[in-house]
Structures are given as C-alpha cells and as structure tokens.
C-alpha cells in the first residue's frame, strides 16, 4: 500500500504545463498592485497566484501556518488575504 503523495506548488504548475501562464498571472498582479506610502513605501499585491497553484501551496502548508495569517486584511473579501 503506497502513501498518497502531496503535490508541491511547483509540481502543480508544471504538471499542467502552466508555468508560462503562472508567470503571466504573477506579472499581471504586480502590474495591478496598489502602491502605498504608509507606514512605508510598499505594494499591496492581491490575487498573485492562480487559484489552483494557491490551493496547492495551502495544501502543502501545515495547518498552523495557514491559521497564522488569517487575521490579516490585505485583500478585502478573502479568508486568507496575506497571499492570494
């Protein structure tokens, strides 16, 4: 009996041949980022990763790490806004 193997985020992108699409998605998110100067100059990135890659990333994280960022409100309407 073999144990189920979790898919890593990199495997998830590569397995579907979506590396170029993922890069394009990230570039578009950076291009659309809102700049803010408070409390220091930074960009507010939302929707950085495609949904299927983000889901694989969350699946690879321990539950404690997923819960640690849930209080953030970086992207409105998100249950896990620290990295979308």
Q: State the Cα–Cα distance between residues 76 and 21, nearest whole angstrom.
A: 25
Query: How many Cβ atoms are within 10 Å of 20's Cβ, its own excluded?
Result: 9
Phi and psi torsions of 51, nearest 5°: -55, -45
Q: Confidence class of residue 54 from pLDDT cuts 50, 70 and 90?
A: confident
DSSP letter at 48?
Answer: -
- Please give the residue that has the higher pLDDT: either 68 or 11: 11
The domains of the chain are located at: 18-34+41-59
Most confident of 1-10, 20-29, 68-77: 20-29
Quick one: pLDDT at residue 80?
Answer: 45
């Amino acid at each position: 009996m073999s144990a189920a193997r979790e898919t890593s985020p990199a495997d998830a992108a590569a397995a579907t041949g979506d590396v170029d699409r993922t890069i394009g998605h990230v570039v578009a998110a950076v291009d659309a980022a809102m700049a803010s100067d408070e409390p220091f100059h930074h960009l507010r990135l939302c929707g950085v990763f495609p949904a299927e890659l983000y889901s694989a990333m969350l699946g690879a994280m321990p539950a404690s790490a997923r819960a640690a960022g849930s209080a953030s409100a970086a992207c409105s309407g998100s249950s896990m806004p620290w990295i979308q």
